[in-house]
Amino acid sequence: MREPNTPEIESLTRTQILTGIAVTALILLIVAKIWQSLGNVMLLSWQINPEALLLGIALALTICGASNLAYRFWHEYKTCADIYLNIVLKPLVWPDLIWLALLPGLSEELLFRGVMLPALGLNWLALILSGALFGVLHLSSGDQWPYAVWASLIGLLLAYSALATHNLVVPIVAHILTNLISSILWKRNQLNHP
């Protein structure tokens, strides 16, 4: 029996989820490359160095901690997150979580922080638009607005990290690790509390 106010959503298979992740990542990469070419946009720089990696790790841990608090204390967010994560994570096996972390982490950061921020001016307006559009990408239905609001806040934080460091590696590392840590914790929790 399903909880009240929980929409009935058709289950997806592991193959459908992995295909969806791959296709979405490919579309985002194509959009980024087209925007970069047509808009003559210089991609935000990539500098792989210990400082960027440590900042990315610290940001990921901060986001995971904040997400945990939001999950515990914001009922609407918890409900939306559980619906979304049940759809996306439940059919996946443990090694699939690596793809769930890598593909969106790379493609979304390339588009939203790597191309969009420089194209919109590397300023506060660009930061706000990038964060808001990142949230919209995570809006699967109208009643999932708390999840999209949370994603927008995370998008703002990732955009700020890119603006502050002028290094795309920081939000990429943060995004990949956030996806990986969050999905591992959620799946582990589901195993312990079916």
Amino acid identity for residue 131 in this structure: G
Say how far apart CA 128 and CA 107 lie, in whole Å: 19
Average model confidence (pLDDT) for the chain? Answer: 91
Are the C-beta atoms of residues 83 and 6 closer than 8 Å to each other? yes
User: Residue 127's pLDDT is what?
Assistant: 95
Q: What is the pLDDT of residues 23-62, one digit of tens each?
A: 999 999 999 999 999 999 999 999 999 999 999 999 999 9
Structure tokens at 65: 């901690």
Q: What is the pLDDT of residues 113-137, one digit of tens each?
A: 999 999 999 999 999 999 999 999 9
Q: What is the pLDDT of residues 82-112, one digit of tens each?
A: 888 888 899 999 999 999 999 999 999 999 9
Q: What is the pTM of this model?
A: 0.91
User: Residue 9's pLDDT is what?
Assistant: 56
Q: Which residues are CB-contacts of 118 (< 8 A; sequence separation ≥ 6)?
A: 41, 42, 43, 44, 126
How far, CA to CA in Å, does 17 sit from each of 11, 65, 194? 10, 26, 21
How far, CA to CA in Å, does 71 sit from each of 63, 64, 74, 79, 90? 12, 10, 6, 9, 18
Band of pLDDT at residue 189, cut at 50, 70 and 90: confident
